[in-house]
C-alpha cells in the first residue's frame, strides 16, 4: 500500500501510545505504558517520567516513582542499544538475554582502552553484586571505593567505574534502585533474571509500538545485527507499506493520531528509527547525544519547550492549553 509521510508519522505516533491510550491510574498505569512501548528512554529520570505522562491520562509523577522503587513492576537499567531504559520487569531478562552479549562484545575496544580485560570485569561483577547484596542501594562513589579497595581500578574518578557498573548491569546482576543508586537484582526483585530472549518476539513488540518501520529501524532501536533484525521482522510482519521509495513493515493499518503532545528529553518516539522521515532542527537535536524536549503534532516535531518555565518555541501554531495543564496535574498530584 502506498502512503504519505504525513500518514506514516501520525500512524507511528498512535503506535507509540502518544494518543494516550492508557487510562489506568497508579503504578499499574505506569507499567502498562512501559509494557506497551517496549521500554522508554531513561537517560534522565525526568525524561522517563514525562514519557509516561505523554502516553497516559491518569498517572502521576509519584506513580512512576512508586512503580520503580516500591512496586518494582518497572526496572531501570541498560537495555536497547546499551542505553539506560525503563522496561517492564518481566521483560528485563529476555531483553538482556538477547541483547546483553552483543552489547558487551561491542564495548570490548572501550574496555581495552580503560584497562578492563575480561578477568577484571568478571571479578568486578562478583565484587559489586556481593557488596550490593550485603549493603543495599549504593551510589557511584561508594561502588568506586569498593572497586578501589578490591584492586580492580587505579583511581575512583575515572570512566572505568561506570564501565564496570554498566557491565554488571548487562549481565543482569545489578540495576538502578532508588534515585541514582544501584542495587543487586537478586535482592531488588527477590530472584535473578532469566536471560532468555527471542528476536521474533522483540520484533513483534517493536512493530506494535513503532511500526510501520524497516528492519534497519528495528536494528537501530534494539542494537541487534541487521541480518538478524531483518529475519525477525520478515517473520512477524503482517502488512507492508510504501512511503516514497521506502518499503516499511507493520502489523496494523492505523488511522493515526493528530494530537499535539509535549515530549520530554530523549523521548523514545524520536529515538526509535534509523529514518525518522522528518528532520529534527538543532533546537531539538543540537548534537553531542542530546535530544531536547519537543512539541509533537500528528507525529511531526513542531517546536520545543522548557521544563522549568514551560516556555515554548513553536515552528507553527498549536493549542497547548490542555497539555500544559496536564503537565501541572502530573507533577503536582
**Residuewise pLDDT in 10s, the chain (333 residues):** 899 999 999 999 999 999 999 999 999 999 999 999 999 999 999 999 999 999 999 999 999 999 999 999 999 999 999 999 999 999 999 999 999 999 999 999 999 999 999 999 999 999 999 999 999 999 999 999 999 999 999 999 889 999 999 999 999 999 999 999 999 999 999 999 999 999 999 999 999 999 999 999 999 999 999 999 999 999 999 999 999 999 999 999 999 999 999 999 999 999 999 999 998 999 999 988 899 999 999 999 999 999 999 999 999 999 999 999 999 999 986
Beta-carbon contacts of 44 under 8 Å, excluding residues fewer than 6 positions away, are 264, 265, 266
Angle formed at CA 268 by CA 263 and CA 272, multiple of 5 degrees? 135
Contact 265, 249 (CB under 8 A): no
Looking at the structure of the chain, the number of domains it has is 2
> How many Cβ atoms are within 10 Å of 321's Cβ, its own excluded?
9
Tell which of 233, 250, 267 closes a domain.
250
Tell which of 250, 279, 294 closes a domain.
250
| Structural domain includes residue 154 | no
Q: CA-to-CA distance for 165 and 175, rounded, in angstroms? A: 9
Beta-carbon contacts of 133 under 8 Å, excluding residues fewer than 6 positions away, are 184, 186, 187
For residue 238, the domain's CATH number is 1.10.10
User: Are 278 and 302 members of one domain?
Assistant: yes
The pLDDT of residue 333 is: 60
Question: Which residue carries 541487521 as its cell?
Answer: 226
User: Are 245 and 264 members of one domain?
Assistant: no
| Structural domain includes residue 152 | no
Quick one: cell of 55? 502516553
| Structural domain includes residue 30 | yes
Contact 215, 234 (CB under 8 A): yes
Contact 78, 170 (CB under 8 A): yes
User: Are 313 and 281 members of one domain?
Assistant: yes
- Burial (CB < 10 A; 0-12, 13-18, 19+), residue 176, is buried
- Measured in residues, the chain has a length of 333
Collapse the DSSP code of 286 into the 3-class scheme (helix H, G, I; strand E, B; otherwise coil) and give the result: coil
Provide the H-helix boundaries in 211-332.
215-222, 226-236, 321-332
| Structural domain includes residue 108 | no
| Structural domain includes residue 61 | yes
User: Are 303 and 262 members of one domain?
Assistant: yes
Give the helix/strand (H/E) hosting 253: none
Angle formed at CA 155 by CA 152 and CA 161, multiple of 5 degrees? 65
| Structural domain includes residue 5 | no
User: Are 273 and 333 members of one domain?
Assistant: yes
User: Are 321 and 265 members of one domain?
Assistant: yes
User: Are 312 and 243 members of one domain?
Assistant: no
Q: Name beta bridge partners: 106.
A: none
Per the structure, the complete domain to which residue 20 belongs is given by: 13-71+256-333
User: Are 261 and 238 members of one domain?
Assistant: no
| Structural domain includes residue 320 | yes
Q: CA-to-CA distance for 80 and 11, rounded, in angstroms? A: 22
User: Are 260 and 328 members of one domain?
Assistant: yes
Question: Exposed e or buried b for every residue in 51-60, given b needs 16+ CB within 10 A?
Answer: bbbbbbeebb
| Structural domain includes residue 85 | no
| Closest among 270, 240, 323, 258 to 297, alpha carbons compared | 258
Quick one: cell of 223? 542494537
Tell which of 215, 250, 285 closes a domain.
250
Amino acid at each position: 500500500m502506498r502512503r504519505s509521510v504525513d500518514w506514516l508519522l501520525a500512524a507511528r505516533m498512535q503506535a507509540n501510545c502518544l494518543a494516550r491510550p492508557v487510562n489506568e491510574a497508579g503504578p499499574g498505569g505506569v507499567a502498562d505504558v512501559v509494557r506497551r512501548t517496549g521500554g522508554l528512554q531513561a537517560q534522565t529520570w525526568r525524561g522517563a517520567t514525562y514519557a509516561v505522562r505523554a502516553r497516559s491520562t491518569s498517572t502521576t509523577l509519584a506513580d512512576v516513582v512508586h512503580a520503580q522503587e516500591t512496586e518494582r513492576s518497572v526496572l531501570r537499567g541498560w537495555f536497547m542499544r546499551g542505553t539506560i531504559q525503563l522496561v517492564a520487569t518481566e521483560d528485563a531478562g529476555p531483553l538482556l538475554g538477547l541483547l546483553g552479549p552483543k552489547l558487551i562484545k561491542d564495548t570490548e575496544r572501550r574496555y581495552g582502552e580503560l584497562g578492563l580485560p575480561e578477568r577484571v570485569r568478571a571479578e568486578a561483577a562478583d565484587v559489586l553484586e556481593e557488596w550490593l547484596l550485603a549493603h543495599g542501594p549504593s551510589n557511584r562513589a561508594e561502588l568506586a571505593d569498593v572497586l578501589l579497595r578490591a584492586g580492580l581500578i587505579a583511581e575512583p574518578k575515572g570512566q572505568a567505574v561506570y564501565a564496570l557498573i554498566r557491565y554488571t548491569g548487562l549481565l543482569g546482576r545489578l540495576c538502578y534502585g532508588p534515585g541514582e543508586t544501584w542495587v543487586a537484582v537478586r535482592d531488588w526483585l527477590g530472584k535473578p533474571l532469566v536471560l532468555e530472549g527471542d528476536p521474533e518476539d522483540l520484533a513483534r513488540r517493536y512493530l506494535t509500538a513503532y511500526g510501520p518501520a524497516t528492519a534497519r529501524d528495528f536494528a537501530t532501536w534494539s542494537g541487534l545485527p541487521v541480518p538478524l533484525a531483518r529475519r525477525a521482522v520478515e517473520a512477524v510482519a503482517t502488512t507492508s507499506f510504501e512511503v516514497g521509495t521506502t518499503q516499511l513493515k507493520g502489523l496494523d493499518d492505523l488511522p493515526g493520531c493528530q494530537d499535539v503532545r509535549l515530549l520530554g528529553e530523549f523521548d523514545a518516539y524520536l529515538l526509535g528509527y534509523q529514518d525518522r522521515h522528518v528532520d529534527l532542527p538543532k533546537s531539538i537535536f543540537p548534537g553531542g547525544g542530546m535530544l531536547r524536549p519537543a512539541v509533537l503534532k500528528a507525529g511531526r516535531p513542531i517546536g520545543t519547550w522548557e521544563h522549568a518555565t514551560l516556555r515554548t518555541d513553536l515552528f507553527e501554531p498549536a493549542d497547548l492549553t490542555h497539555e500544559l495543564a496536564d503537565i501541572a496535574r502530573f507533577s503536582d498530584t
